Each structure stands twice: as structure tokens, then as C-alpha cells.
Amino acid sequence: MVVQQGSDQKGAMNRIVTISFTTLDAPGGVPKFNRDLHAAFPDRETIHFSWWDFPWSIEMEHLPEWEKARTLNHYLVSSRKLLPTDVVIADGFWADGLQHMKLAVSHSHGIWSHLTKEDTDAGKAPDMPYHHAAQVNFRRRWTDLKKHITAVSDFIAVQMELQWGFKVDKIINNGVDTNIYRPLAPVDYSDEKYEVREFIKRDKPIVVHGVNDKGNINKGWDHIQALIDDGSMDVCSLDELAAKLNMSKPDAMAQATIMVHPSGYEGNSMFVAEAMACGIPIVGYDVGFLYKVRDNGFVGYIIPRSERRPEVTLVAAKQLTGHAPGRYFCSASVRSLALKHLSLDVFKKNWREYVEEIEK
């Protein structure tokens, strides 16, 4: 359990409580979301509960995740660690057991078991059928009671409605620090594209990706392997690029010629947000935030998910890098989209407005 104190006004307003499987300081997207959410409410007391906060979690490790969620919430309610006035924002079915709480919110970070409407129509089975069934069952009970539910992107909200008829209260995108992730030079918004001086000497265009789990087909490792095998581009993960250049991740990201994001199921990738904040043109598919901007004059290639294949990604990457071989280009329009939709300031503002709305 992590408790963060707000300003002197704490206690005057409802507490903000987040609940998820992971601890607040863990790596990954959900813990970062929870930390950013806490930071959005400096005037309130913020608390995080995770499965691993309590010693009995080791003894009950055999339980499936949905049973862990119910067990944790039963304990939090029965021990009165949760107050009736708390605003509770939980990861998916980690809100199960809180149906009686007026201000409990289930936030959908991703698409369960890597299954879209197109997949179900084609007869594809979920990757994790029991986990998938638990997610659907929970949300059906939750939405039948007209409880609060939010989603991390238009893509997730659309898929929930197409597949099960679930409608969300609000879509709130993740946020990235656009002061840290930024272009290498000030953006000239009078031009859609602009060239800045070359900061590193390169023999090949640099293609950065975020598929650290090598072999993960859902993330698109086969697409990355196709780019590596082609040999015409310097292809590396952001971690690899930062180590190679001896730079921080934000500075290394800004050196990339393009970013490739071949995932077919992403909820709302922080990696995409970071690249966009740096103004990096992207090759990707219309999932996550890219679903929202696919028809918005985006600089790069956003390809329909139905065409998702390694050879399609390779062709798009070669075409995009061929526009500026050996040079660095930044798209002001990509950066401006990040500022408008994906900045931490926008994230915090949207969550504050939503919480104030449900508290009325």
C-alpha cells in the first residue's frame, strides 16, 4: 500500500484510490498510469493498493487473477481500508467487489486476450480463454448496474461496444511528459515538415521500435525481424538505441528517423506517445491512439489492421525512410497531435474533470 499526501487541503475532498495487480513503483504502463493519476490530484490524499501489498498474497498465488481481484477488494472493504466516499479507479476487473461503491471506476487499459471483432468474426479463439471470459463476465455485471467505466483509447471503446455492447463513460488517453520527450530543435509550426541539423552521423536511417519481448508475435516481433533481415536500416529498440548512443531514452528517441509500431492490439501505447511527442514519423497499424488519428493527415503510415503483415510493414518503413536518407526530419503535425491529446497536462485535466463530474 502506498499513501501519498496532498496539500494542506487534503481531507476536504474525497480520496483518490487506485487498485491493480502491480505495485505503484513497478515497471510498465499500468503502474505509470497510476503514478500519473496520483500526480493529477495534488490537493487530495492518494492511495494505491496492489495484490502484492499484503503478506498473504504469496500463500494465495495459485488463485487466478480475477479471484485475486475479488479477494483483495473483499479484504479492503471488510477491513475498512476503503471508505464509502473514496474515488476508486481500478484496472479492469480489479474493480470487482466494489459494485456497492458509488465512485468506483473500472478503467480499461487494453484489449483482452488479443481479440478484436474482426478476429471473432473469423472464428479466432482468445489467447487466454478463462481470463477473457472473466473480463467479459465482470464488465457485463458492472455495466448492467450502470457503474462507471472508462477506456484508454477510442480503439478499446469501439471494440468493447462492437463485441459486447459495453459503452464507456469517457475515453481518457495516457499522457507523456512533452517537455522531456521533444524534438531536437524548436518546432516551426508554419511547416508540416521541417529539417533540422544532423546530430549524429549515420550510414543508415535509424528505425526505433518498442518490442522488447523478442519473439512476441502479438507485439509484432516478426515485423521487426523482417526489417532487421532487410539490412537497409539500423533497427533497434529504444533501450538498445539509448545504450548505443549513450543518451537518455528521450534524447535517443529524438534521434530516430522513424518509429515502427507493429502491434495489432495495443490499448494506448506510451511508446507511440513518446515518439509522437518527439515528432517522429510512425509506421504502425490503426490500433490504440493511432486508431484515432488514422484519417487525420498523420505524417507516416497508419495501415489498416486487416493488412497487418511483416512485408507490409517493411515496405512502408523503406518508403518512409527513403524520403530523408541520412537526415533527420521532424513532423510538426505529429508533435502538435501529441501536445493536443497525449500530454501529461491534458491527461491530468481530463481525469480531474471526469472525477469532478462523477462526484456531483
How many other CB atoms sit within 10 Å of the CB of residue 202?
Answer: 15
Higher pLDDT, 93 or 4: 93
Is residue 212, in this structure, part of any structural domain at all? yes
pLDDT of residue 9: 46
- What's the rounded mean pLDDT across residues 231-256? 91
Higher pLDDT, 14 or 128: 14
Type of residue at 106: S
Band (pLDDT 50/70/90 cuts) for residue 197 is very low
What is the spatial distance between Cα 358 and Cα 130, in angstroms, rounded to a whole number?
32
Is residue 129, in this structure, part of any structural domain at all? yes
Residue 153 and residue 228 share a domain: no
Residue 273 and residue 252 share a domain: yes
Q: Are 278 and 183 in contact (CB under 8 A)?
A: yes
Residue numbers of the domain that contains 251: 193-341
- What's the rounded mean pLDDT across residues 115-131? 89
Type of residue at 88: V
Residue 167 and residue 30 share a domain: yes
Number of domains in the chain: 2
| Nearest CA-CA partner of 143 in 105, 192, 194, 182 | 105
Backbone torsions φ then ψ of 118, nearest 5 degrees: -60, -35
- Count of residues making up the chain: 360
Is residue 188, in this structure, part of any structural domain at all? no
The mean pLDDT of the chain is: 88
Residue 162 and residue 214 share a domain: no
Is residue 40, in this structure, part of any structural domain at all? yes
Q: Are 174 and 202 in contact (CB under 8 A)?
A: no
What is the spatial distance between Cα 196 and Cα 188, in angstroms, rounded to a whole number?
10
Residue 233 and residue 140 share a domain: no
- Annotate 60-75 with b (16+ C-beta within 10 A) or e (fewer): eeeeebbebbbbbbee
Residue 269 and residue 201 share a domain: yes
Distances in Å between the Cα of 225 and the Cα atoms of 260, 313, 325 are 12, 11, 21
Is residue 186, in this structure, part of any structural domain at all? no
Residue 204 and residue 149 share a domain: no
What is the spatial distance between Cα 285 and Cα 303, in angstroms, rounded to a whole number?
5
Give the pTM.
Answer: 0.89
Band (pLDDT 50/70/90 cuts) for residue 75 is very high
- Average the pLDDT over each of 104-113, 169-178, 186-195, 297-306 and give the range with the smallest value: 186-195
| Nearest CA-CA partner of 274 in 171, 133, 357, 177 | 177
Residue 228 and residue 107 share a domain: no
Is residue 180, in this structure, part of any structural domain at all? no
- Average the pLDDT over each of 52-61, 164-173, 222-231, 293-302 and give the range with the smallest value: 293-302
Residue 204 and residue 163 share a domain: no
Is residue 183, in this structure, part of any structural domain at all? no
For the chain, where are the alpha helices, taking DSSP H only? Answer: 29-39, 56-59, 65-78, 117-121, 129-144, 154-164, 221-230, 238-245, 249-254, 270-277, 289-293, 310-321, 332-341, 344-359
Examine the pLDDT at 173 and tell me if it is beyond 90. yes
pLDDT of residue 84: 95
DSSP class per residue in 97-151: T-TT-TTEEEEE-S-GGG--HHHHHTTPPPSSHHHHHHHHHHHHHHHHTT-EEEE
Band (pLDDT 50/70/90 cuts) for residue 222 is very high
Residue 283 and residue 265 share a domain: yes
pLDDT of residue 3: 64
Residue 129 and residue 23 share a domain: yes
Examine the pLDDT at 202 and tell me if it is beyond 50. yes
Residue 240 and residue 138 share a domain: no
265: domain CATH number is: 3.40.50.2000
- The 10s digit of each residue's pLDDT in 280-303 is 889 999 999 999 887 655 567 889
Is residue 7, in this structure, part of any structural domain at all? yes
Examine the pLDDT at 100 and tell me if it is beyond 70. yes
What is the spatial distance between Cα 160 and Cα 37, in angstroms, rounded to a whole number?
23
Residue 242 grid coordinates: 539509448
Residue 204 grid coordinates: 543508415
